[in-house]
Structure 1
Amino acid sequence: MSSSVRSPDGTVIGFETLGDGPPMVLVHGTGADHTRWAAVRERLAERYRLHLVDRRGRGLSRDEAPAYDIGREGEDIAAVAEAAGGGVYLVAHSYGALCALEAVRKTDAVTRLVAYEPPRPKPGEHVIGPDARKRMRAAESPEQVLETFLREALRLSPADVEAMRGTPVWRARVAAAHTIVRELDVVEKMVFDERLGEIAIPVRLFAGTESPEYLRLAADAVAERVPGADVVPMLGQAHQAMDFDPDQFAGAVFGFSGA
């Protein structure tokens, strides 16, 4: 079942709902939409009523207001959490985890957060350099933008990218490619500061033991700032444990349920 809410700036945020139980809102990362949870959604829906968000600019979401800002993305997620009735377990991946960290400071509807590798550059370095972002802006096709992101930001091998190309969600990733550069621009300037200390709900970070170093360091940095937060490793996995080890991912999510 598909539903939508209107964010404070007028943008319509769409989401798909399934399952029974307490509410869980899932937020995807860059270059994706709500279908990125395909490998784990049925497992999670056995225990939770899922609300799988399409972040602004893609899929079920529409009428995006101008002047993009990550703070508006936080308002989007807060609006979905409030529509879900409160008491929400928020599970967010990558750039979506950055948006979720914004959201939990804007609403009391979220009571628990898993943030899987919210990205920022390693100090003094880039996630993806300005030359690559320039190439992405000049790319002749959305697929070129997506491939550059996967290889140079997520450090995936050509073989891994080809494997992804054959999955059902590839088309959705291509459709969302126009949002990649604006999100990378935000990531390059990301700072984890004292505002994270305002978060008063339980927070757990997931970090792949095989992820690029900058992602593991970023997870540690958030955990150091958020009171009581900790980091759980995705053993043998990198940035996409939900795809390549869905049992480990779902088990870790259930392990932080508070039940």
Structure 2
Amino acid sequence: MPESVTSRDGTVVGFETLGAGPPMVLVHGTGADHTRWTAVRDRLAERYRLHLVDRRGRGLSRAEAAGYDIRREGEDIAAVAEAAGGDVYLLAHSYGALCALEAVRLTNAVSRLVAYEPPRPEPGGPVVGPDARARMRAAEDPEEILEIFLREALRLAPEAVEAMRATPVWPARVAAAPTIPRELDAVEAVVFDERLAGIAIPVRLFAGTESPGYLRLAAQAVADRIPGADVVPLHGQAHQAMDFDPEQFTEAVFAFSRP
């Protein structure tokens, strides 16, 4: 069932709800929308009332205010968590995990957070080189933007990109592709600093054992700065474990639930 809230700057943030139980808010990453959870949502909904967010600029959240800033995305997620009634289990992937780290400093409605590989450049090098970012901005076909991102930011092999193309959520990824360049700009500016030390809820990072090195390093960097946080490896998986090993992924999510 589609619902919506109005964020602090007037952006309308839409989300789908399903399932029964305590509230869980799910936040997708770059080049996606709420359908990126398709492979795991039914199993998660057996234990939780899911709120599957479309981040601003896509899907149910196209009515966004001008002037993009990742801090506004944190406000969006905080608004959804508060609408969900508080005591929220927040599950966030990739760029969405960066947005979630902003959100948990703005609201008391979140009681725990799983952040799956929030990205940050390795010291001394960008996530995506300037040539690739220029090609994304010049591309007229959103599918081309998405393919450049998958190959050069996530560093997926051609066969992995083809496997993703065959999934039912590929059209939604293509539709969201125009938002990729602005999110890459934000990633390049990410700094994990002392603000993370103020996060007082339980936090767990997921990191694929086969993910690019910069993503695994970033996950550990976040865990090192949040008191009590830890990193759980997703064995044999890279940045899309929910798609390619949904059983391992959901078991890891359930393992961080309240006793």
TM-score tier (shorter): over 0.9
Residue 176 of structure 1 aligns to a residue in which SS?
Answer: helix
Q: Distance in 1 between matches of 2:8 and 2:168?
A: 33
Q: Distance in 2 between matches of 1:62 and 1:31?
A: 14
Match of 1:187 in 2: 187
Match of 2:219 in 1: 219
Q: Distance in 2 between matches of 1:38 and 1:85?
A: 24
Match of 1:258 in 2: 258
Q: Distance in 2 between matches of 1:63 and 1:251?
A: 35
Residue 61 of structure 2 aligns to a residue in which SS?
Answer: coil
TM-score normalised to structure 2 length:
0.99
- The one-letter code of the counterpart of 1:84 is A
Residue 146 of structure 1 aligns to a residue in which SS?
Answer: helix
Q: Distance in 2 between matches of 1:90 and 1:159?
A: 31
Q: Distance in 2 between matches of 1:200 and 1:104?
A: 9
Aligned pair 1:7/2:7, yes or no? yes
Q: Deviations over 1:209-240 (max 9, x none)?
A: 00000000000000000010000000000001
Match of 2:150 in 1: 150
Q: Deviations over 1:13-38 (max 9, x none)?
A: 00000000000000000000000000
- The one-letter code of the counterpart of 2:45 is A
Q: Distance in 2 between matches of 1:112 and 1:258?
A: 9
TM-score normalised to structure 1 length:
0.99
Q: Distance in 2 between matches of 1:38 and 1:62?
A: 21
Match of 1:125 in 2: 125
Match of 1:47 in 2: 47
- The one-letter code of the counterpart of 1:45 is A
Residue 62 of structure 1 and its aligned partner are, at CA, apart by 2.5
Match of 2:79 in 1: 79
Residue 66 of structure 1 and its aligned partner are, at CA, apart by 0.7
Residue 122 of structure 1 aligns to a residue in which SS?
Answer: coil
Residue 77 of structure 2 aligns to a residue in which SS?
Answer: helix
Residue 249 of structure 2 aligns to a residue in which SS?
Answer: helix
1:1-259 pair list within 5 angstroms: 1-259=1-259
Residue 67 of structure 1 and its aligned partner are, at CA, apart by 0.7
Q: Distance in 1 between matches of 2:186 and 2:245?
A: 29
Q: Deviations over 1:90-139 (max 9, x none)?
A: 00000000000000000000000000000001100111011110010001
Q: Deviations over 1:160-183 (max 9, x none)?
A: 111111111010000000100000
Q: Distance in 2 between matches of 1:250 and 1:25?
A: 14
Q: Distance in 1 between matches of 2:17 and 2:140?
A: 35
Residue 89 of structure 2 aligns to a residue in which SS?
Answer: strand
Count of residues in correspondence between the two structures: 259
- The one-letter code of the counterpart of 1:248 is Q
Q: Deviations over 1:31-59 (max 9, x none)?
A: 00000000000010000000000000000
Q: Distance in 2 between matches of 1:63 and 1:121?
A: 30
Residue 63 of structure 1 aligns to a residue in which SS?
Answer: coil
| Runs (5+) with no aligned partner, structure 2 | none
> Percent of counterpart pairs with the same letter?
81
Residue 204 of structure 1 and its aligned partner are, at CA, apart by 0.1
User: Any runs of at least 4 consecutive aligned residues in structure 1 with deviations exceeding 4 A, and if so which?
Assistant: none
Q: Distance in 2 between matches of 1:208 and 1:256?
A: 17
Q: Distance in 1 between matches of 2:108 and 2:158?
A: 43
Q: What is the aligned-residue RMSD (CA, Å)?
A: 0.5
Tell me whether 223-232 or 160-169 shows the greater mean CA deviation.
160-169
Residue 36 of structure 1 aligns to a residue in which SS?
Answer: helix
| Runs (5+) with no aligned partner, structure 1 | none
Q: Distance in 2 between matches of 1:66 and 1:12?
A: 12
